[in-house]
Structure 1
Amino acid sequence: METVKRGYMPKDTIEFGPKSEAKLNAAAQELVFLMDRGYDTKSASTFVGNHHLLSERQRLALARMISPHAALRERERKRLRKGPQALVLDGFNTIITLEVALSGSLLLEGMDGTIRDLAGLRGSYRIVDKTVRAIELLLGRMEALGVKEALFYLDQQVSNSGRLRALLLDKAEGCSVQVQVELHPSVDGVLSRLENVVTTDAIILDKCGSWYNLNRELIEETVPEAWVFRLESLKIWNETAAMEGP
């Protein structure tokens, strides 16, 4: 199997490097300001991105990192502090982020504490050299947490979802976690109605009953060399908002 750097883009080292931080920090503060006042992400990102002459990837990154504070407070309220005995996982969302981490490609720290990627599915997926390791790390972490049951949901319409299902079930043999994998045409819709969800999808986080930030602790503990891009202005803004309250 060929070596693949999932989510890698050559320009990332420049667009998210030290020389771009000041511009991105300023843009992030303006985007938070607008979103807190009811502007939708797309229009606010376009306005701020044009003002600061941001690339499409920089705009997408900020949109992935930033959320209005009303949403952040609600997500924090629903966040599980301890791993439950049963988890429901957004399969592609979780595994792809781990593949990106193992590839040394760009990851983003969101204001809600999640770690997201910019890889994207776009309807297609293929198993790469990092996939098996990502699954092994995921299963190992769930075993360590004492998780008894794990239900993975995979988007049925995405190519190779069946192959990934077979791989997940194969690697789960002999594991103390009872793993099930379901292919479904509307994963977001299903997860939005459930508890104990593992995802970084903002829409699902806003709608689900409760969620567990599994990927962040897994990446920090097992892939400490992962490239996680953070913005100081968002940290300061979060701390200020927390002191001010709702």
Structure 2
Amino acid sequence: MPDLRKHRGSHPQDQLLFVIESDPELRQGTCDLSGRLKTMLREISEERGWNWEIELVPDPDPVLSRADQIVASADSQILNQAERWFNLVRFAIETRVPDAWIVDLSRERL
């Protein structure tokens, strides 16, 4: 029998449990990694002549979900809500790990 469960969505206490202000070290670590990623993306885009706009925001999910541009993500909620999207992780696995074992769980195959 196929598994028909749906994503549960956010937990009612997520805002309390994962509020970034509750852990200053987590906030600093997140900012450090985000800043490094932004720098790397900017450098790559400049090297290749790509006209990218790279922006850091505290909560990117609503921004990505409402974007009118193509969104690169692997987050199912964002992919479900975004108007135009690209599954970045799938592309990375298919192009960089050609021998990866991929299980297709799409409804078309069930």
TM-score bin (small chain)? 0.5 to 0.7
Q: In the aligned structure 2, how far is the partner of 1:219 from the partner of 1:204? A: 19
Aligned to 1:176: 49
Contact 2:74 2:88 in 1 (8 A): no
Q: C-alpha displacement at 1:229, in angstroms?
A: 4.7
The whole-number CA distance in structure 2 between the counterparts of 1:216 and 1:40 is: 19
Aligned-residue offset at 1:191: 0.5
Distance 1:163 1:215 in 2: 20
Contact 2:71 2:82 in 1 (8 A): yes
- Is 1:213 aligned with 2:83? no
In structure 2, relative to structure 1, the CA distance for the partners of 1:178 and 1:228 (3 Å cut) is farther
Asked if residue 159 in structure 1 is aligned to residue 37 in structure 2, the reply is no
Residue 193 of structure 1, CA deviation? 0.4
- CA deviation string 1:124-166 (max 9, x = no partner): 797xxxxxxxxxxxxxxxxxxxxxxxxxxxxxxx231112212
Return the offset for 1:190.
Answer: 0.3
CA distance, structure 2, for counterparts of residue 212 and residue 164 of structure 1: 19
1:238 aligns to what? 108
Query: Does residue 222 in structure 1 map to residue 96 in structure 2?
Result: yes
Equivalent positions of 1:3-14 (< 5 A) are none
TM-align CA RMSD: 3.1
Give, in whole Å, the separation in 2 of the partners of 1:214 and 1:125. Answer: 26
Tell me the SS of whatever aligns to 1:212: strand
Q: Does 1:188 align with 2:61?
A: yes
Question: What does residue range 44-63 of structure 1 map to in structure 2 within 5 Å?
Answer: none
Separation of aligned partners in 2, 1:172 and 1:186: 23
User: Is there any run of 5+ residues in structure 2 with no aligned partner, and where?
Assistant: 10-25
Are residues 175 and 163 of structure 1, via their aligned partners in 2, closer, same or farther at CA, if it must alter by over 3 Å?
same
2:74 to 182, 189, 200: 200
Q: More strand by proportion, 1 or 2?
A: 1
Tell me, which stretches of 5 or more residues in structure 1 are unaligned?
1-25, 43-122, 127-157, 241-246
Aligned to 2:43, what secondary structure does the other structure show? helix
Q: Equivalent residue for 2:14?
A: none
What is the aligned residue count?
92
- Mapping 1:110-129, distance limit 5 Å: 123=26
Does structure 1 retain, via aligned residues, the 8 Å contact 2:74–2:90? no
Cα distance in 2, alignment partners of residues 220 and 41 from structure 1: 28
What residue identity is the alignment partner of 2:58? Answer: P
Deviations for 1:31-80, whole angstroms, at most 9, x for unmatched residues? x23x2xxx6638xxxxxxxxxxxxxxxxxxxxxxxxxxxxxxxxxxxxxx
Structure 2 CA distance for aligned equivalents of residues 207 and 218 of structure 1: 22
Q: 2:15 — aligned with what? A: none
How many Å separate the matches in 1 of 2:64 and 2:28?
Answer: 20
